[in-house]
Structure 1
Amino acid sequence: MSEQPKVAIITGASRGIGAALIPAYRKLGFAVVAAARSIDDQHDPELLTVSADVSVPGDGARIVDAALQRFGRVDTVVNNAGIFVAKPFTEYTDDDYDAVTGVNLRGFFDVSRSAVAAMTQQGGGHLVTVSTSLVDHANSAVPSALASLTKGGLNAVTKALAIEYADRGIRANAVSLGVIRTPMHPPSTHAALARLHPLGRMGDIDDVVEAIMYLEQAPFVTGEILHVDGGQSAGH
């Protein structure tokens, strides 16, 4: 009988970093549950796609339930789904607040709460959360208080969960990103965005995927906020 594969849940999996993580985890031998608001089915028996909006109460738990029903376990959750809105603080609207906190906080909470319950029963697991280095190194050129409010909280809860669940074999880590070259950034902005990083370039999706793969395969690392930001968090 073949050994049951480990299972990774990836949110925000329809494009960008999330989409790139699917083949990376499959290469490690994981079955993957790929969740996004809109995502196409794929012809891979070890890949389950789930259409869900993590900002909606209950959708996060539904993603985890789908993983358990299909594969019987949850070993890793990559909380990749996120919203970033850059505005002067006083120009944020109630709708902005609801959108950003809904995905960044509610999404993390619902998915992770259900996943950690399953991981506790099976004896271990791993949470990885995508954050931003603007939490550590605010920039007046990129006013983003809602990102700091939400992602700063996710950095803190990453450390809290790492300690709370260390004796149950569950690790929690985060990757804290600079600006990554994804379709959300028009090419006309790339030169200016590159200058935000001491290394003088934007990050690539592969930089993020490789960092997450490191954390996945680093059993002695937990409570880590791994900066993948071209030196941005260190200063200018």
Structure 2
Amino acid sequence: MKKVVIITGASQGIGAAVVQAYRALDYRVVATSRSIQPSSDPDILTVAGDIADPATAQRVVREALATFGRIDSLINNAGIFIAKPFTAYTQEDYANVLAVNLNGFFYITQLAIAEMEKHGAGHVVNVTTSLVDHAIDGVPSVLASLTKGGLNSATKSLAIEYAKRGIRVNAVSPGIIKTPMHGEETHATLGQLHPVGHMGEVSDIAQAIVYLENAGFVTGEILHVDGGQSAGH
């Protein structure tokens, strides 16, 4: 029976690349995002909805089980980043970042792990950011650090809690990746924020997630894919 992965934030950028990477591994994919369109691939089930809403998480898991019968992996890729000076954040900004980055992780991960426990195996990957470890002057990132830093810590905590139950939990911590979020005119400037001198590609993150998927002895790992950002400047 083919394995099944749920991928959040799956309609573009990193998420879309991760969908293709798991199809290449012959997984069935449950892909969710607010704007996701139906797929012509019978092994890709799309579920549109706001991952911050617990009802979306319930629907994704329910439809995954109804269509494919199991859940083997969960990739928590959905996230938002609002770059503003700290004192310029509005209550709405704060609520939105917490809703997507933390609530979006909590509800679906809780449901997915409950299913993984039933067959004593599973894998969760959280996509975070290297800004958590290495803040950069001129890139205001308090809300990213508050939420994604929480996910890094939760990754280790869950890894230990479920280590003896066959469920692994890891994180991929990207640098700045070429996605539709960043216009091409910004690429040169953003590239210079990395010691290697250029931005990352979505394929870099997808490959890191595939590595973790296949790395049965790796759990609780925060894998930095960031052109050296977290190592220093």
Bin the TM-score by the shorter chain. over 0.9
Provide Cα deviations, 1:99-118, integer angstroms capped at 9, x if missing partner. Answer: 10100000000110000000
Confirm or deny that 1:188 pairs with 2:185.
yes
Q: How does 1:133-172 map to 2 (within 5 A)?
A: 133-172=130-169
Shift of 1:58: 2.3
Shift of 1:57: 2.5
CA distance in 1, matches of 2:58, 2:219: 24
Q: Which runs of 5+ in 1 are unaligned?
A: none
Shift of 1:91: 0.7
Confirm or deny that 1:110 pairs with 2:107.
yes
CA distance in 1, matches of 2:95, 2:173: 23
CA distance in 2, matches of 1:33, 1:202: 28
Q: How does 1:171-182 map to 2 (within 5 A)?
A: 171-182=168-179
CA distance in 1, matches of 2:200, 2:215: 22
User: Which residue pairs with 2:82 in the alignment?
Assistant: 85
Shift of 1:95: 0.4
Equivalent AA in structure 1 for residue 227 of structure 2: G
SS of equivalent to 1:9: strand
Shift of 1:38: 1.4
User: Which residue pairs with 2:61 in the alignment?
Assistant: 64
Shift of 1:64: 1.1
CA distance in 2, matches of 1:38, 1:183: 14
SS of equivalent to 2:45: strand
Count of aligned pairs between the two proteins? 233
Q: Which runs of 5+ in 2 are unaligned?
A: none
CA distance in 2, matches of 1:176, 1:153: 12
User: Which residue pairs with 2:93 in the alignment?
Assistant: 96
Kept in 2: contact 1:73–1:122 (CA 8 A): no
Equivalent AA in structure 2 for residue 64 of structure 1: V
Q: Which of residues 47, 52, 68 in structure 2 aligns to 1:50?
A: 47
Shift of 1:39: 1.1
> What TM-score, normalized by structure 2, do the two folds share?
0.98
Confirm or deny that 1:9 pairs with 2:6.
yes
Q: Give % identity.
A: 62
Shift of 1:183: 1.2
Kept in 1: contact 2:76–2:126 (CA 8 A): yes
> What TM-score, normalized by structure 1, do the two folds share?
0.97
Kept in 2: contact 1:133–1:232 (CA 8 A): yes
CA distance in 2, matches of 1:9, 1:190: 30
Equivalent AA in structure 1 for residue 222 of structure 2: I
Provide Cα deviations, 1:181-225, integer angstroms capped at 9, x if missing partner. Answer: 111101111111001000000001111111011001100000000
Provide Cα deviations, 1:12-50, integer angstroms capped at 9, x if missing partner. Answer: 111011111112101111100000111111112111000
Q: Which of residues 192, 210, 214 in structure 2 aligns to 1:213?
A: 210
Q: Which of residues 31, 34, 38 in structure 2 aligns to 1:37?
A: 34
Kept in 2: contact 1:163–1:223 (CA 8 A): yes
CA distance in 2, matches of 1:45, 1:147: 36
CA distance in 2, matches of 1:139, 1:147: 12
RMSD: 0.7
